[in-house]
Structure 1
């Protein structure tokens, strides 16, 4: 008898809701129990890394995000790749010239783990303007895995979003909450300040910021319920949330002053605000972040 698999690897449709996963609190509790094992062990600037500064990490992580956007990667690839990057930098000193090579290798590894079709080595070399070679990437792939001790199934802020939204009634009040939360989780992983933050805190703050930005009827109590589910200190989540809002506000202001590029692509400094606007525009919502809500975005 012939066996036929009709699944298409390029099909990005979400899987059906799994009642076993989303109705069993042990799954969420396991994520909370495991997340501390994958948090970077130190703030490596000036200690392990003598040649790398926080702004360099910001630049390379933003480049990683843009590569993921251009290649239409799954949302979960980018946070995992940044987790690999930070954990490696806690364990091995490198020069600034090797930082983009490391970032490309982390993207390659994360895409192999979190999506059906991995990124191409040749494409990643192209995104670096061929400043690295395929042989460099293959050699560093083994180096990165060894420094990570092959612990590559890390828990990230992305992993919490669906588990939280499936357990709260107010998530149905706006179809944009999930998408905005994912975008803001990605934003958190570009910020050097959050290197050692718990993924559950980043997720709670991102969901809270998304809800507050869209301002559905339950916005006032949303952060409290998210923090209760994820066992996150509300004060810690509020601190991260305020930082998210300040970054988005800053990028929104930058977006208004950017000249239009020939290829109509937005530069990295305003990528988050641009994505939020695009999501709103696709669903018939106002096109600018200040129209999406009154104050924050």
Structure 2
């Protein structure tokens, strides 16, 4: 008898929520106990990395997020890839010319681990505008794995959000709570200031900021409940929430200014920037402005 496989590779339906995992409080406790094992060991700017500055990391991580969004990757791919980048940079000095290569390799590894269909080497090279060669990515994949000591699983803010939302009453009051919280988690992983922050702290701040934005009336109640579940200090959560709000305000003001200055052509809609837009001649003066999507970090100059 012939066996027939009717599985459709294009079927990207997510697995249903497992009640055994989410109903058992021990799962969240184990996640919180393990999270410190995967936090980057140092703030590597100026110590391990002599040629890389915080704004360069922000440019590359923003590009990584846009690639994930363009390819509709699973939500957990991006924070895991950034965790790989930071842990690698803590122990292996590189030049600024190699930073996007590291980001590409970490995206490749994270997609292999956290989703069914991994990003391909050739596709990632296209997103770098061919500034990264396929053979370099394959060689550096082994280098990154060796520096990570083949520890390619890590606790990220994404892993904590669903467990917290499952245990708080306000999570079902607004359907966009989870979506907004995960978006803010991604924003936290872009910011260099949070390199050594615990994932539970980033998740707690993102959830509270999302709820505050959707329903300001229950802000204090949310903060107390989330901090109790994630073992975080309310003051630390408030500090990250204020930073998130400042970044969001800056992003929105920058986008509004760009739309006002450019404006759509008559009869045409404004086109969005794709993840292959080239950025060149980034200087220290450019650090304060919102970076565009890079394709060639080799063009970063002072």
Q: Report the Cα distance in structure 1 between the residues aligned to 2:291 and 2:55, rounded to whole angstroms.
A: 16
Q: Which runs of 5+ in 1 are unaligned?
A: 272-297
DSSP 3-state at the match of 1:103 = helix
Task: Return the offset for 1:171.
Answer: 0.4
Q: Secondary structure at the match of 2:58?
A: helix
Q: CA offsets, 1:184-241, max 9 Å, x none?
A: 0000000000000000000000000100011165333112111110111111111111
The alignment of Structure 1 onto Structure 2 pairs a total of residues equal to 271
Partner of 1:236: 236
Equivalent residues in 2 for 1:68-79 (5 A)?
Answer: 68-79=68-79
- Gaps in structure 2 of 5+ consecutive residues: 276-289, 293-302
Q: Is the alpha carbon distance of 1:169 and 1:137 closer, same or farther for their aligned partners in structure 2, counting shifts above 3 Å?
A: same
> Which residues in structure 2 correspond to 1:103-118 (within 5 Å)?
103-118=103-118
The two structures, once aligned, show a CA RMSD in angstroms of: 2.0
Distance 2:26 2:6 in 1: 33
Structure 1 position 16, deviation (Å): 2.0
**Between Structure 1 and Structure 2, whose CA radius of gyration is higher?**
2
Matched residue, 1:138: 138
Whole-Å separation in 2 of the counterparts to 1:178 and 1:4: 39
Q: Which residue of 2 aligns with 1:64?
A: 64
- Structure 2 counterpart SS, 1:265: coil
Aligned to 2:147: 147
Q: Which has the higher contact order (CA 8 A, sep 6+)?
A: 2
Distance 1:236 1:112 in 2: 34
Alpha-carbon contact 2:59-2:291 (below 8 Å) kept: no
In the alignment, structure 1 residue 82 sits paired with structure 2 residue 82: yes
- Greater shift in the superposed pair: 1-10 or 76-85: 1-10
Structure 2 residue aligned with 1:264, among 271, 285, 290? Answer: 271
TM-score under structure 2 length normalisation: 0.85
TM (norm. structure 1) is 0.86
